[in-house]
Amino acid sequence: MINYNVDADGIATITWDMPNRTMNVLNEGSITAYAGALETALKDDKVKGIIVTSGKADFIAGADLEMLLNADTSDAAKLTDQFSQLQKLFRRQETGGKPIVAAINGTALGGGFEICLACHYRIAAANPRAKVGQPEVKLGLLPGGGGTQRIPRLIGVMNAAPILLEGKDLPVETAKGMGLIHEVVPANELLTRAKAWLTAESKETVVPAYAGKGAKPIDARAVQPWDRPGFKTPGFPGGQVWSPVGVQTFIGGNAMIAAKTSGVYPAPKAIMSCVYEGLQLPFDTALKVETRYFVSLLRDPVAKSMIRTLFFGLQEANKLARRPKGVPKQEYKKIGVLGAGLMGAGIATVSVQAGLDIVLVDRDQPSADKGKAHIADELGKLVKRGRLAQDRADAMLAKVTATPDFGALKDCQLVVEAVFENREVKAEATKKAEAVLDPKAVFASNTSTLPITGLAEVSVRPESFIGIHFFSPVERMGLVEIIVGKKTGPRALALSLDYVRKIRKTPIVVNDSRGFYTSRCFSTYTQEGLYMVAERIAPPLIENVGRMSGMPMGPLEVTDSVGVDTALKITRQFRKEVFKTEKPDPTEEILAWIVETSGRLGTKAQKGFYDYDAKAKRTRLWPGFLDYGGGKWRRDADPEELKLRLITIQALEAARCFEEGVITDPRDADVGAILGWGFAPYTGGPISMIDTMGAAAFVKRCEALAAKHGERFTPNKLLREMAAKGETFYQRFAPASKAA
Ligand code: NAD
């Protein structure tokens, strides 16, 4: 696991190389083995210096998240003791009296980078793909191996902020420019260079601060900056956090965090506290403070929920856990896209970027060409940003055939249909495509509202007919919702999943239903916002509580971005086809007033609930809307209750989707919610949220809201049953398959 070797010049090399893993991680076994090797090197008089490196392509990926997820968090003292041991190990490493170099051969993240920071010198191999950083905050944690203390002491609080608070990782060259890494050298010189640094003649000696007065001076190379006499944190006058500059920094920083996280994420706050408190304390005490905050985050359900969904759930989805077994993997070469509009052109863009040949079909040549021009634009943007070479962009564009001729689809392995959202138009396009397609090719509709089973009725091979629902803008949105119709066969599902991975998106698998899973749950959020408008709650309050609940946008803003006309159309269709009533409810009346009385269609028209400037940037709530219904608004509503309503209604809809079999896997439900419509990520997703609070408590909350706000909050049978039995979704619907 950890290889240890001492050469003739007294240089010990400790190489991380965990068996049966592609990446090294910090867990109990590897940490113990590493501690043993380190101790041997420090105690061996023949050893003059130490190199820490890895035998894998990357250095160390970070802590073993499985270990963190399964940690028994009931005993805070025990956890504190456990993680103090890690701090002590890293501290022993930097205060052991021998110079240590981190030879960073590839990516070093989280605890992996913290090991490097506790080395006296850091050399990285030049590798444009290698990254260093502290991504812990993205999973609701903080760097608990000294990262919050060593990084600000090395590069100052301002420079440390994006690394610690946003989890930004850095290419090694950037890290060198910031002072986190000392040298970047060609990969084949990494170890020689490390050894050269260790064997160079020592020029300076110091008495380390930890050794106390009167102690013997030692080789300065073996002493960290913060252990040297007179050390001051860079960035603040006198290194003082409480200097006027320091105070300004923290006031501004706290305000920014509050604005960005609405107070629902504990980790950024804890990181700020660690840095602020730690920088005023002796180093060893500062590490204790860090451990305490780390343990408090680990014990908070937010971290576990985020790790489970945003790491494990996501990983399983990306490994195609839901792919039916026994269907050979499809290697894609050529696909077709029907409709070269907003979605079709986006789907073609991401497909061509994955190296596929594309046939892009539209009604006439100019419409097809317009779609191809969009692809050229998108590739051009990447070239401009230096992320794609011009010749590769040219080669990609040359793989796109834009044509009105359906005959060109002949040898496509899969076709994604993205024509107008109209049953007849879709039926005609399906028939024309199937007439020329290979009988084994998959036909996928990107419809957002029309049930797949109904669309498949015109198909001559409904077992190969499926829904592949992309999100807009296709280039940026990571999720794809795959919809299995009544007659869709396992082969079509397997091959659709292969395609989604080919274009490097994350798939979830759902069964057919109106609005499928994502649109159906998401629409409850926008609709609840409209109910609040109907109750005359002041629109700015509604929008603010939306964001405060952890959603990326307020309900009205998001309705603008979807298109107020689209929302109206769907609401009307739903009323007529599901509720079978002629009487619009108050939410539909508001939408109709915005679209039909006021002629405001949303962001695309630069006017909706909001006003927009020429660049489609929101400027203010439209004053005309604030006059709606006489202009008197209530400002006395309790923001906490509004927040609860907005979040609860979505989670309840997700629970209904389970009861109806629309969704069957809690991982899909949670990953789909966060990636698809931005459901408050700190909860780990709607299902995680219900599981964390317990079905019984959730049912109680729904009942209280139903009594006050109506039937839409009435908990479903499944939830009541689970509440009675004390079940969780992750138990009751335990994922049947884990990815290989
Ligand atoms: P769009 O109007 O931008 O594009 C539709 C394209 O289809 C147009 O270029 C049109 O010329 C072409 N077309 C129409 N009839 C055709 C035919 N018979 N043969 C070939 N081409 C034809 O629409 P869009 O927003 O790209 O939506 C397309 C589909 O994607 C719809 O089903 C929509 O519900 C779905 N969808 C849209 C979004 C979104 O945010 N816009 C998101 C997910 C899914």
Compute the distance between CA of residue 525 and CA of residue 653 in angstroms, rounded to an integer. Answer: 10
Please say whether the dihedral angle defined by the alpha carbons of residues 617, 618, 620 and 624, taken in this order, is positive or negative.
Answer: positive
pLDDT tens digits, one per residue of 552-599 = 999 999 999 999 999 999 999 889 988 899 999 999 999 999 999 999
pLDDT tens digits, one per residue of 20-42 = 999 999 999 999 999 999 999 99
The verdict on the CB of residue 481 being under 6 Å from ligand 1 is no
Locate 470 and state its tokens: 């992309």
Residue with tokens 């009385």: 597
Alpha helices in 517-665 (DSSP H): 518-534, 539-548, 555-562, 564-574, 586-592, 623-626, 639-659
CA–centroid distance, residue 337 to ligand 1 (Å):
11
Return the pLDDT at 702.
98
Compute the distance between CA of residue 298 and CA of residue 73 in angstroms, rounded to an integer. Answer: 7
Residue 115 gets the label, from left (phi > 0), alpha (psi -120 to 50) or beta, of alpha
Compute the distance between CA of residue 565 and CA of residue 689 in angstroms, rounded to an integer. Answer: 32
Compute the distance between CA of residue 78 and CA of residue 75 in angstroms, rounded to an integer. Answer: 5
Task: Return mean pLDDT, the chain.
Answer: 96
Q: How is the chain split among helix, strand and coil, in percent rounded to 5?
A: 55, 15, 35
Catalytic site residue from 28, 94, 114, 659: 114
Compute the distance between CA of residue 489 and CA of residue 33 in angstroms, rounded to an integer. Answer: 50
CA–centroid distance, residue 345 to ligand 1 (Å):
9
Q: Where residue 739 falls among pLDDT bands split at 50, 70, 90?
A: low
Mean per-residue pLDDT, 683-707: 98
Half-sphere exposure of 36 (CA within 13 A, CB side): 12
Distances (CA, A) of 492 to 52, 78, 310, 323, 423: 49, 50, 27, 10, 22
Lowest mean pLDDT among 45-59, 246-260, 369-383: 246-260
User: Is the per-residue pLDDT at 736 higher than 90?
Assistant: no
User: Is the per-residue pLDDT at 54 higher than 70?
Assistant: yes
Residue 44 gets the label, from left (phi > 0), alpha (psi -120 to 50) or beta, of beta
Which among 227, 207, 188, 73 has a CA at the least distance from the CA of 141? 73
Return the pLDDT at 737.
62
Tally of CB atoms within 10 A around 683:
26
- Does 535 qualify as catalytic in the annotation? no
The verdict on the CB of residue 367 being under 6 Å from ligand 1 is yes
The verdict on the CB of residue 603 being under 6 Å from ligand 1 is no
Nearest CA to ligand 1 atom 15: 419
CA–centroid distance, residue 680 to ligand 1 (Å):
29
Asked if residue 275 lies in contact with residue 164, where contact means CB atoms within 8 angstroms, the answer is yes
Compute the distance between CA of residue 682 and CA of residue 310 in angstroms, rounded to an integer. Answer: 10
CA–centroid distance, residue 702 to ligand 1 (Å):
38
Higher pLDDT, 306 or 735: 306
Partner residues linked to 618 by β-bridges = 612
Lowest mean pLDDT among 10-19, 108-117, 241-250, 325-334: 241-250
Mean per-residue pLDDT, 685-695: 97
Asked if residue 70 lies in contact with residue 76, where contact means CB atoms within 8 angstroms, the answer is no
Compute the distance between CA of residue 179 and CA of residue 154 in angstroms, rounded to an integer. Answer: 7
- Does 204 qualify as catalytic in the annotation? no
Compute the distance between CA of residue 42 and CA of residue 94 in angstroms, rounded to an integer. Answer: 11
The verdict on the CB of residue 422 being under 6 Å from ligand 1 is no
CA–centroid distance, residue 364 to ligand 1 (Å):
14
The verdict on the CB of residue 579 being under 6 Å from ligand 1 is no
Compute the distance between CA of residue 639 and CA of residue 609 in angstroms, rounded to an integer. Answer: 21
Secondary structure letter of residue 577 according to DSSP: I
Mean per-residue pLDDT, 390-401: 97
The verdict on the CB of residue 561 being under 6 Å from ligand 1 is no
User: Is the per-residue pLDDT at 61 higher than 80?
Assistant: yes
Q: Based on the number of CB atoms within 10 Å of its own CB, is 192 exposed (0-12), middle (13-18) or buried (19 or more)?
A: exposed
Going edge to edge, which strands form the sheet with 442-445? 400-403, 357-361, 334-338, 414-417, 442-445, 465-470, 479-484, 506-511
pLDDT tens digits, one per residue of 169-228 = 999 999 999 999 999 999 999 999 999 999 998 889 999 999 988 899 999 999 999 999
CA–centroid distance, residue 445 to ligand 1 (Å):
10
Q: Which domains does the chain have, with CATH numbers?
A: 2-299 (3.90.226.10), 334-513 (3.40.50.720), 519-639 (1.10.1040.50), 644-739 (1.10.1040.50)
- Nearest atom within ligand 1 for CA of residue 429: 18
Secondary structure letter of residue 242 according to DSSP: T
Compute the distance between CA of residue 673 and CA of residue 686 in angstroms, rounded to an integer. Answer: 7
* Cis before 229 (ω within 30): no
Q: How far is CA 6 from the centre of its chain?
A: 42
Alpha helices in 535-622 (DSSP H): 539-548, 555-562, 564-574, 586-592
The verdict on the CB of residue 518 being under 6 Å from ligand 1 is no
Burial of 346-377, coded b for 16+ CB within 10 Å and e otherwise, reads bbbbbbbbeebbbbbbbeeeebbbbbbebbee
pLDDT tens digits, one per residue of 506-556 = 999 999 998 999 999 999 999 999 999 999 999 999 999 999 999 999 999
Q: Where residue 262 falls among pLDDT bands split at 50, 70, 90?
A: confident
Asked if residue 226 lies in contact with residue 279, where contact means CB atoms within 8 angstroms, the answer is no
Pocket test for ligand 1, best of 419, 514, 526 (most atoms within 8 A of CB): 419
Residues above pLDDT 90, as percent of the chain: 93
Q: Where residue 740 falls among pLDDT bands split at 50, 70, 90?
A: low
Return the pLDDT at 735.
75
